[in-house]
Amino acid sequence: MFFSEITYEEGTIKKLYLPVLLAGFLFWGFGCGRERGAPSSVEFRNGIEIVHNGKAPQYPQRRVAFEEDLSIGPGDDSDAIRLYMPRSYAVDGKGFIYISDDKDPGIKVFGPEGRPVRTIGSKGNGPGEFQLVTSIAFLPDGRLLALDSELNRVSIFDPDGRFIASHQYAILSMSFKIYLVTDSFYVREVTTTEPGKEPKTWRRHLRVAAFDFSGKEVLSFGDFEAAQSGFVTGRFSFSLPFPVCSILAGDTRNGRLYHCLNDRYLIQVFDVKGRIIREITRPYKRLRVTPDDWKDYLDGFKTTAENRSAIEKNVTKPDLKPVTPFMIVDDSGRLWVQVHESKKDGERVLTAFDVFDDRGRYDCRVLAAFIPGLFQGGKMYRYETDDETGERYLKRYRVIWKD
């Protein structure tokens, strides 16, 4: 029932959050008018439920507030357990927080009040050891799964942190995330590469499949579109601007996998047998890529003027932004879809999210000061980085919905 989530974007503490932290609350506003949207309509086509949503949400006045109640920081030399480069995290049924660390491999466990409890595993290649844990998940019975993308290995631990078993996956494939789990299997991505059309370039292929706890593949959800990289021959690779690719989100609570090929607003919903059971649509006009967007993309490269010039010459600026760069499911089964719309609020930039209920109906829209992380037990967890020290903190917020 519990799963881990790696956030895709981070805020900064002092620049964006100090005013709201002093107040104790962070409110997310809504981006629509007061008029209630038209009800969703449903049709069935070839055994698939098609949910047609209107342009406006059904509850435009609905909003959500976050109240911070915990911060886990790096600590100091006097602490028995320290965080250096925290990456993936998960929360168990009792509220204990599990955090992997790139610099000090091992899964560090903190109590519900943020006090360090123990460390599971350590750096190494042997049983129960790690090199780079990029995803953590909990099975319904409390066992822990840890996906190590450096060792191409998934390890299993009992609820007390004792090593049980592990299995390897193909060396020529890459996996970074566990999307959902059941009593008998877990679902992860499988990314492979092949030579591209240009010399010294590669093309990625993405598949999502379920594996039992011995590592045997038991079913496939199919092939999806991986985000591709740009290449400057003989020099380096880099992320392309506003890529059209598959965006995925797992919902362990309801046993669903969500997928959006983000060149259009169509979200497919898979069940745990790998079947498409629902499609969610709503009218949406993709935004154009502006000169400022292009400048922000180029400014994001912390590299030499020569390399930046090479990127600018070798990358074609897209005309349109994709529908979404990110989706996540909260602990009530709501699907949050980030769209490329934003609003200035003083120094802050608020990002728009379309929120759908667990039946696929367009529930509300919120404007967010940050990208949410893991929703668990009425709380939301996410990393935030101090813009002066560069230190990373795991924050926990109480989630309060308001109509």
Contact residues for 162 (Cβ-Cβ < 8 A; gap 6+): none
Q: Has residue 221 got a pLDDT over 50? A: yes
If pLDDT is split at 50, 70 and 90, which confidence band does 30 have?
Answer: very low
Contact residues for 179 (Cβ-Cβ < 8 A; gap 6+): 3, 187, 188, 189, 208, 248, 249, 250, 257
Q: Is residue 53 part of a domain?
A: yes
Quick one: average pLDDT of 234-244? 87
Could you tell me how many helices (H) and strands (E) the chain has, helices first?
3, 31
Q: Is residue 309 part of a domain?
A: no
Q: Is residue 302 part of a domain?
A: no
* Cβ-contact 400, 379 below 8 angstroms: no
For residue 128, what is the DSSP state? T
What CA–CA distance (Å, rounded) separates 255 from 278? 13
How high is the pLDDT of residue 175? 96
Quick one: average pLDDT of 164-183? 95
Which DSSP string do the residues of 353-382 spell out, in sequence order?
EEEE-TTS-EEEEEEESS---EEETTEEEE
Residue numbers of the domain that contains 149: 2-286+321-402
Q: Is residue 292 part of a domain?
A: no
Quick one: average pLDDT of 55-67? 94
- Provide the number of structural domains found in the chain: 1
What CA–CA distance (Å, rounded) separates 122 from 292? 45
Quick one: average pLDDT of 12-30? 41
More confident residue, 325 or 27: 325
* Cβ-contact 341, 287 below 8 angstroms: yes
Q: Is residue 306 part of a domain?
A: no
The CATH number of whichever domain residue 260 belongs to comes to 2.120.10.30
Q: Out of 190-199, 208-217, 284-293, 392-401, which region has the weakest mean confidence (pLDDT)? A: 190-199
Maximum CA pair distance of the chain? 62
* Cβ-contact 338, 352 below 8 angstroms: yes
Q: Out of 162-166, 173-177, 230-234, 246-250, which region has the weakest mean confidence (pLDDT)? A: 230-234
Q: Is residue 298 part of a domain?
A: no
Q: Has residue 147 got a pLDDT over 60? A: yes
Q: Is residue 216 part of a domain?
A: yes
Other C-beta atoms lying within 10 Å of the C-beta of residue 8: 12
If pLDDT is split at 50, 70 and 90, which confidence band does 18 have?
Answer: very low
Q: Is residue 296 part of a domain?
A: no
